[in-house]
Amino acid sequence: MNNLFRDFPTAAVRAEEETFEDLLARPDVRIERIVSTGQASPPGFWYSQPQGEWVVVLQGAAGLLIEGEPVRELRPGDFINIPAYCRHRVEWTEANGPTVWLAVHYELAQDAPTA
């Protein structure tokens, strides 16, 4: 796979589940393609990660909720930086056709065991 908009995993093509694929995985950064097909975070579930995450929607649409803020509707090209430990969840993704996200995870070293 060398194009973000092609070669979706079977589970994404069948709209069975959200798919996550690493495009680059290095000690300091991880770049991931996420394909959503109508999924949302489970009720009451919040992401809260020890890493920072910079994320952009490139196709489709999604509703992203940062705790304490209104839901943001993300359309193609819309990006946001989610700092480490910032609680957030996906309220909705477009039901008709895939939503393609590109996520850059950084500050990974905070996860590494200390020497």
**Whole-number minimum distance, CB 4 to a copy of itself, in Å?**
4
**Whole-number minimum distance, CB 93 to a copy of itself, in Å?**
18
**Whole-number minimum distance, CB 75 to a copy of itself, in Å?**
8
* Nearer CB in complex with a copy of itself: 3/45: 3
* Nearer CB in complex with a copy of itself: 15/58: 58
CA dist 32 → 54, 78, 100, 112, 115 (Å): 10, 16, 10, 19, 28
Q: Residue 17 is encoded by which pair of tokens?
A: 């589940």
List contacts with a copy of itself (CB under 8 A): 2-6, 23-24, 26, 28-29, 31, 52, 54, 56, 58, 75-81, 102, 104, 106-109
* Nearer CB in complex with a copy of itself: 15/31: 31
Instruction: Give the whole-angstrom CA distance, residue 68 versus residue 28.
Output: 30
Q: Residue 114 is encoded by which pair of tokens?
A: 């200390």
Burial (CB < 10 A; 0-12, 13-18, 19+), residue 31, is middle
* Nearer CB in complex with a copy of itself: 42/63: 63
Q: Residue 108: how many CB atoms within 10 A of its CB?
A: 16
